[in-house]
Structure 1
Amino acid sequence: MKFTLSWLRDHLDTKATLEEITTRLTANGLLVDSVENPAETLKGFKIVEILEAHPHPNADRLKVCRVNTGTDIVQVVCGAPNARAGLKGIFASPGTTIPTSGMVLGKSRIRDVESAGMMCSERELGLGDSHEGIIELPLDAPVGEDFCVYKGLDDLVIDIEITPNRGDCLGVRGIARDLAATGIGDLKPLKIPSLKGKFSSAFQVRIDDLQGCPFFTGRLIRNVRNSPSPEWLQKKLRAIGLKPISALVDITNFMSYDRGRPMHVFDADKLQGSLTIRKARTGDQLQALDNNTYLIPSDALVITDEHDVCSLAGIMGGLASGCSEETVNVFVESALFEPVRIAMAGRALRILSDSRYRFERGVDPAVIEEGLEQATQMILDFCGGEASNIIRAGVAPSEHHRVPFHTSRVQTLGGLSLPKEKIYEILERLGFMPEGEHTFKVPSWRPDIKGEADLVEEILRIHGYNAVEAVDLPRITPEEIRQNPESQVDRPWKIRCSLVSRGMSEAYTWSFIKKEWAEKFGGGDSLLAVENPISADMSDMRPSLLPLLLDALRRNIARGHKELALFEIGNQYHVAGEVLAATGIRGLETGPRHWLNSGRSVDLFDAKADVYAVLESCGFDPSSLQLSTEMPPWYHPGRSGTLMLGAKTKVAYFGELHPQILEMFDLQEPVVGFEVFVNTIPAAKGLKKDFTLLSPYQPVERDFSFILDTHIPGEKLLQLIQKLDKNLITSVSVFDVYQGKEVPEGKKSVALSVRLEPRENTLTEAEITNLSNKIIENAQKILGAELRS
């Protein structure tokens, strides 16, 4: 939303500086994106007078002019047909940059005649499309003065970002109202004319879809002259990047930006009978003002005359009923349209107009007739004519809604202690009026306010979030977590803490990726393509968090950050729905570079350890999961795995990423990754073990080496041994895997260590032997394993 500083001051009586205003805007939630000074682009352009203009000796269409710059007399070669003695225009001296082309002027010779600068046209200065001749200024224009100062083009332009709930600030009046609430100035009273119609019009309007258009007003104005709008209005529109077209069009644009009130003006003589607002029918189409023809979807709202569609309601008017220089009689529309219907139609047709942008965010219903009156007065002032009585259809908006509010909630919900008087002052300055002890009436321009929390947010916003004191969060004891592990802290927070503690850094990436990446990671379906992508690299919803993490890894490696571990917790998108995933990657070597530590390359067990940490942080024992080697194609076959809960539920992927994937991201070294599907992790029933004292008895470790089939995962052997005596066996770990000489083909040797920790007495040799035999017997019976001699 762009506006000039002087435009803001049309509504806000303030002595605040630009810095104070922009700081307050951002603090209010209206983030200032930029502040531009148009004078910077027109710097160096001076008002001059042509003293003489003689034909060029070597060119028929050129003239050699002697130009008075106010400080000097210079010679300029000019090709404009209107260049003549006595003309006052705009001059660019050598060293000046032309705004529209970026060309830096210098002294030159044109057909053997020296030229020290250039006389400028409107197009060259970005002030219009005219290029047939140079700009002609009034004869009293002061020679030597800066052109931008003379024309008042040095008005600062402020551009702010508007959040979707703040449709009231899509008009300068709303922005001024919001600033006035902070005490930075006072909102000026607005004078709304009350016009009595000169005649009663036979023109009729009917609404067939009251849900889509609850209320419609209009007025017939006859005998108008659609001339150019006044200079002050053209200046405002040009400053914010709008091209002045004609008085009628400029007035509707002004109302849209000044009051946030989109309107439309029909050429009444081009309408065939009365108007109807209805749902579009199959086959309805419209050649719109942008010269495109649209096939209108059936749920869109249209405005028709007795023969055809003449406007896409709330979005864009039709070319056939548009105003031109020949327009004599007009019908002015000011209506209320349902935001969702406007948004859906605009998206379906891919039309983003100023009108749609405002209607889909909610316009102030109280300004429907106010806007019509104000626009009518402007038309009468600029174009003449006479206006009819107001034509109405539908039901005028009802009284403002109310929300409950207790002042104590500012402290309990917002953490800010304010006296009741201050709270009421802020709300009343924002337009909220108290009714009774605990109720406030919501102003018509704030349809986003639904409840008590919204009012608390308004108070914090205006008073300042920086006034909210920081407080320590209550500590959560291990006992509390053990008693109720799921409710104390949400899973993403616990997962985040776990991965950070393992040396990983959290990343936040886009939800959109390029189609090539989406297709490689199980996506690319047309249903997940973005209709209006920001760029070609953001064309599809991400089916996995891995691509952008890999891209981040690539960019970090290119900048010398090689030992990097990244993770992200977020949604990935599939045709079947969204999936919350905790995803991470590790690249290159692990461990710092040091003469005592040569480091090692990452492998799938690093990723597996990350997965186990995630599962354990959620209070789940990963040893109860089954391991599958069935993997998606972006993982390396044989160097990856899937953790399954039962036969169908996939809990996590982990392992090395496929070399082709690494090549696509220009990564030269192996990278391991994991994806944990958070919502598939079963609810925790408590931690695996209670917090207990260490055993006072001597632990015992026994090593075993088994030969088993290569297709049997070592994980199954570990799980089998662990289950034999969960109280006595505290850990089982593999320390060697061997295939080759002395091991039969199709077999592998798995060496593991079993740690026994007694709790009640020191283990006897007989007890240790019995448990060892039990391990050997079960390994042989269940897995077909043989003890290696």
Structure 2
Amino acid sequence: MKFSENWLRQHVTTDATRDELAATLTAIGLEVEELTPLGEGLDGVVVARIVSADKHPEADRLQVCQVDAGDGAMLQIVCGAPNARAGLVAPLATIGTKIGDLTIKAAKLRGVESNGMLCSAKELGIDVDASGLLELPDDAQPGTPLADYLGLPDASIELKLTPNRADCFSVRGIAFDVAAACGSEVAAFDAAPVPAQGDAALEVRLDAGADAPRYVGRVIEGIDASRATPSWMAERLRRSGIRPVSLLVDITQYVMLELGQPMHAFDRDLLQGPVGVRLAREGEALKLLDGRDVVADPGFLVITDADRAVALAGVMGGFDTRVTDATKNVFLEAAHFAPSAIIGRGRKLGLHTDASHRFERGVDPELPRTAIEVATRLVIDIAGGTPGPTTEAVLPEHLPQPKTIPLRRARLARVLGLEVADAEVERILRALGLGVEANADGWTVTAPTRRFDLAIEEDLVEEVARIHGYDAIPTTLPGGGTRLAAPTETRVPEQDLRRQFAARDYLEAINYAFVDTRLLDAWQAQAGAVPLANPLSAELGVMRTRLLPGLVDALARNAARQQARVRLFEIGKVFESREPEARPAPLETLRLAAAASGDVADAQWSEPGRAVDFHDLKGDLESVAALSGARLEYRPSQAAWGHPGRSADVFRDDVRIGWIGQLHPRLQRALDLDHPVVAFEVDLAPLQERIVPRARALSKFPSVRRDLAFVVPEQVSWQALADTVRSAAGETLRDLQLFDRYVGKGVESGFKSLAMGLILQEDSRTLTDREVDAVVAAVTAALESTHAARIRG
């Protein structure tokens, strides 16, 4: 929000200097991002009129001007500005005036005397325009000090507002905060209704329900729209960062900046009526003020004329009904639109307007009628005309109502850590425009409809704190006893998982929780994706359903920047939509993912390089699972993004918790990856569940090892064999080790030989050969019957 300092001081009286005012604004949460002084040191600069302008005899680009400076005598000025001409009113720096580092003196330019300098806006320090002389209105009286005429000195102040302070997107809204902070009051504002002098009116209809619950319009006939915008208005607009365009447009902009209510002016003669508000129809097209043709959809609100769309509500007016200098009859409109109906609509079309910026954050629903009255007064005072009656359509049941919020004295003191006097609390709240009623426990506060950010008691505590002054709140240590809670042993902390990955040479990545829908399409992981209503950009349009798409995209970006070996991991949430009646909010799941590409280790002399593979990543996952004592199982996966035969689903306690493997070559090509990528993604909670270890005495009796080699079909996995062995051997089996796999001579095609070691032991006795043989026989029989295995000869 950018505005003029002098304009603000007209709405609130304060003795604070400019620097003190800027510091106060920042201290109360309205951060001053830029402060630009304007028109400093203009003593000696006056309004002057060029009476004649003749070509310089010795220079093609110079003119010799005779200038009336208001003292009855003509001054001869040599000027090189391209717009210097007879009749032009412009600023004149007289002899002895200091402009910046230049002191004006009488001089000869190419042999012709010059007694002063006609100035541009940039030379005077009031604008950046250096293209020519600053052109003043024709009615400006020569000899008038320029500072008095333009209301200088002044300053342009730009605030960096937080999204919740929509009420401060106006000079008057800022005035309430300044009044509260400086101990003054906001000046009374004249918004008296302008009585109708004619019968001209347009019917107004509302057909958008809660999206547009109020619309106010007024016809003014017989205006002179070609009148120049008054200099005081034009200067306030310029100092607020808005270039004056034409009288009617400037008036609507001026009212918006002063009150915060966006407005629009239609050429009445180009409207048929009635004027209405409704949702756009699919494919409905219209031409906007900037000349572009757009196509709306049912997500947009449109202003209609006899059911013809003539403007995008809350965003921009239409080209076909725009006002021009030839406009004789104007229809002024001001409306209230729900923020949810405007958010993201302009961005969807590549537009960002002052109106949409305000409506997206919330505009006071009580402002439209006030804005119409103020704009009407300005139009008839400057351009004349006959105002008709004000026409209003309203849906009271859909209008935001003032909120009543309790503020407890004890709660205020507890949160702030200090006692604020009741009189000071009431002064602050009333100065902010809030209704205050004292009671035994504190106050009942009524928030005005312009304050969308006030809803709960803590909001009022914040208002008192920021106006009373954060620096007035003492810095104290927390009081009272604290309860020490020992960390649970049944859950592995996330930080331990991070340390483990860092120890295994991985870097942690933090990606956006929203991704490009095209990226999910490439992974075939778009099912259940939650679209964003107001995305930061088209490339960040949906919430992620997997961590891997974003993580592998980060890996690809690193690989594209000459990083041959990349190892990344991420802990974050994924989101999945649910049926509204079953779960209105998306399902959030915390997951762990890792991706690696390139060599398994950095280049070294002791052994040759080797590309990272499935088993390397599986070892990394197993090392993390070991922190909780989890025993993971792996079963062939059918995931669309996985390489067939080189990927698996991960299970814990027979429950699927994720996926591990190499990316499918097709996906790898789509992502423009030159080297294979291995990755995994698992739910985090199952990896964090830890069984508390129970101590037991070591057996005093020796263990027995039996090595067995079985020939089994190739498709039988080691996991299936191990489960069968453990089940058949019972508690006597203390450990099972696979130490060899053989395929080749002596083993027929389609089979493999797996050699395993069975470690057997009892706590109470030494095992006999007969007991060991019985276990071996049971294991052999179970493998033969379950998996068609046979002892290798």
TM-score by length of 2: 0.71
Deviation of 1:668 (Å) = 6.2
C-alpha distance in structure 2 between counterparts of 1:38 and 1:658, whole Å: 62
Which residue of 1 is the match for residue 217 of structure 2?
Answer: 218
Deviation of 1:673 (Å) = 1.5
C-alpha distance in structure 2 between counterparts of 1:405 and 1:616, whole Å: 53
1:226-375 matches, within 5 Å, as 226=225, 227-272=227-272, 275-278=275-278, 286-294=286-294, 297=297, 301-305=301-305, 308-343=308-343, 352-375=352-375
Which of 559, 562, 565 is the equivalent residue of 2:568?
Answer: 565
Deviation of 1:448 (Å) = 4.4
The answer to whether 1:167 aligns with 2:166 is yes
C-alpha distance in structure 2 between counterparts of 1:469 and 1:651, whole Å: 44
Deviation of 1:251 (Å) = 1.8
C-alpha distance in structure 1 between counterparts of 2:608 and 2:185, whole Å: 70
Deviation of 1:420 (Å) = 6.1
C-alpha distance in structure 1 between counterparts of 2:176 and 2:194, whole Å: 29
Whether contact under 8 Å (2:501, 2:624) holds in the other structure is no
Q: CA offsets per residue over residues 121-168 of structure 1, 9 Å max, x none?
A: 99999979998x7766799999xx999x999798455252542x4432
Which of 554, 578, 591 is the equivalent residue of 1:552?
Answer: 554
C-alpha distance in structure 2 between counterparts of 1:248 and 1:469, whole Å: 58
Which residue of 2 is the match for residue 627 of structure 1?
Answer: 635
C-alpha distance in structure 2 between counterparts of 1:269 and 1:130, whole Å: 39
Unpaired segments ≥5 residues, structure 2? 40-44, 66-77, 94-117, 580-585
Find the residue that maps to 1:360 and give its secondary structure.
helix
C-alpha distance in structure 2 between counterparts of 1:184 and 1:598, whole Å: 74
Q: Cα distance 1:296–1:632, how it changes in 2: closer, same or farther (>3 A)?
A: closer
C-alpha distance in structure 2 between counterparts of 1:563 and 1:718, whole Å: 34
C-alpha distance in structure 1 between counterparts of 2:255 and 2:595, whole Å: 53
Find the residue that maps to 2:374 and give its secondary structure.
helix
1:27-38 matches, within 5 Å, as 34-35=33-34, 37=36
Q: Cα distance 1:533–1:212, how it changes in 2: closer, same or farther (>3 A)?
A: closer
Whether contact under 8 Å (2:531, 2:541) holds in the other structure is yes
Which residue of 2 is the match for residue 672 of structure 1?
Answer: 678
Q: Cα distance 1:665–1:620, how it changes in 2: closer, same or farther (>3 A)?
A: same
Deviation of 1:559 (Å) = 8.1
Whether contact under 8 Å (2:215, 2:335) holds in the other structure is yes
Q: Cα distance 1:216–1:546, how it changes in 2: closer, same or farther (>3 A)?
A: same
Find the residue that maps to 1:627 and give its secondary structure.
strand
Task: Indicate the larger mover: 526-535 or 739-748.
Answer: 526-535
Whether contact under 8 Å (2:176, 2:186) holds in the other structure is no
How many aligned residue pairs are there?
720
Q: Cα distance 1:315–1:517, how it changes in 2: closer, same or farther (>3 A)?
A: closer
Q: Cα distance 1:460–1:566, how it changes in 2: closer, same or farther (>3 A)?
A: farther
C-alpha distance in structure 2 between counterparts of 1:411 and 1:772, whole Å: 76
Q: CA offsets per residue over residues 393-432 of structure 1, 9 Å max, x none?
A: 33666851223454555688xx653436489466555544
Find the residue that maps to 1:234 and give its secondary structure.
helix
Whether contact under 8 Å (2:514, 2:541) holds in the other structure is yes
Which residue of 1 is the match for residue 70 of structure 2?
Answer: none
Whether contact under 8 Å (2:631, 2:652) holds in the other structure is no
Deviation of 1:204 (Å) = 4.7
C-alpha distance in structure 2 between counterparts of 1:88 and 1:199, whole Å: 39
Task: Indicate the larger mover: 285-294 or 458-467.
Answer: 458-467
Q: Cα distance 1:432–1:247, how it changes in 2: closer, same or farther (>3 A)?
A: same
Whether contact under 8 Å (1:720, 1:779) holds in the other structure is yes
Whether contact under 8 Å (1:521, 1:543) holds in the other structure is no
Which of 748, 751, 775 is the equivalent residue of 1:747?
Answer: 751
Deviation of 1:567 (Å) = 0.9
Whether contact under 8 Å (1:192, 1:373) holds in the other structure is no
Which of 676, 692, 695 is the equivalent residue of 2:694?
Answer: 692
Whether contact under 8 Å (1:36, 1:156) holds in the other structure is yes
Q: Cα distance 1:741–1:325, how it changes in 2: closer, same or farther (>3 A)?
A: same
Which residue of 1 is the match for residue 660 of structure 2?
Answer: 654
C-alpha distance in structure 1 between counterparts of 2:509 and 2:234, whole Å: 47
Find the residue that maps to 1:258 and give its secondary structure.
helix
Which letter maps to 2:190? I
Which residue of 1 is the match for residue 593 of structure 2?
Answer: 583
Which residue of 2 is the match for residue 419 of structure 1?
Answer: 419
Which residue of 2 is the match for residue 783 of structure 1?
Answer: 787
Whether contact under 8 Å (2:630, 2:652) holds in the other structure is no
C-alpha distance in structure 2 between counterparts of 1:756 and 1:175, whole Å: 82
Deviation of 1:240 (Å) = 4.8
Find the residue that maps to 2:218 and give its secondary structure.
strand
TM-score by length of 1: 0.71
Deviation of 1:627 (Å) = 1.0
Which residue of 1 is the match for residue 191 of structure 2?
Answer: 193
Which letter maps to 2:166? G
Q: Cα distance 1:477–1:755, how it changes in 2: closer, same or farther (>3 A)?
A: farther
Across the aligned residues of Structure 1 and Structure 2, the Cα RMSD in angstroms comes to 5.6
The answer to whether 1:641 aligns with 2:640 is no
Which letter maps to 1:444? T
Unpaired segments ≥5 residues, structure 1? 41-45, 68-75, 92-118, 486-492
Which letter maps to 1:655? G
Find the residue that maps to 1:374 and give its secondary structure.
helix
Q: CA offsets per residue over residues 542-563 of structure 1, 9 Å max, x none?
A: 5643343234345557487956
C-alpha distance in structure 2 between counterparts of 1:772 and 1:285, whole Å: 81
Which letter maps to 1:695? A
C-alpha distance in structure 2 between counterparts of 1:459 and 1:718, whole Å: 68
- The percentage of counterpart residues that share the same residue type is 28
Q: Cα distance 1:751–1:84, how it changes in 2: closer, same or farther (>3 A)?
A: farther
Which residue of 1 is the match for residue 613 of structure 2?
Answer: 603
Q: Cα distance 1:398–1:137, how it changes in 2: closer, same or farther (>3 A)?
A: closer
Find the residue that maps to 1:502 and give its secondary structure.
helix
C-alpha distance in structure 1 between counterparts of 2:704 and 2:429, whole Å: 72
1:700-711 matches, within 5 Å, as 700=703, 702=705, 704=707, 706-707=709-710, 708-711=712-715
Q: CA offsets per residue over residues 704-736 of structure 1, 9 Å max, x none?
A: 454433322222233334455786656545455
C-alpha distance in structure 2 between counterparts of 1:537 and 1:299, whole Å: 20
Q: Cα distance 1:750–1:567, how it changes in 2: closer, same or farther (>3 A)?
A: farther
C-alpha distance in structure 1 between counterparts of 2:87 and 2:318, whole Å: 46
The answer to whether 1:440 aligns with 2:445 is yes
C-alpha distance in structure 2 between counterparts of 1:52 and 1:400, whole Å: 66
C-alpha distance in structure 2 between counterparts of 1:739 and 1:20, whole Å: 85
Deviation of 1:692 (Å) = 1.6
Task: Indicate the larger mover: 327-336 or 199-208.
Answer: 199-208
Deviation of 1:363 (Å) = 0.9
Which residue of 1 is the match for residue 201 of structure 2?
Answer: 203
Find the residue that maps to 1:565 and give its secondary structure.
strand
Q: Cα distance 1:87–1:245, how it changes in 2: closer, same or farther (>3 A)?
A: closer
Whether contact under 8 Å (1:579, 1:677) holds in the other structure is no
Task: Indicate the larger mover: 649-658 or 365-374.
Answer: 649-658
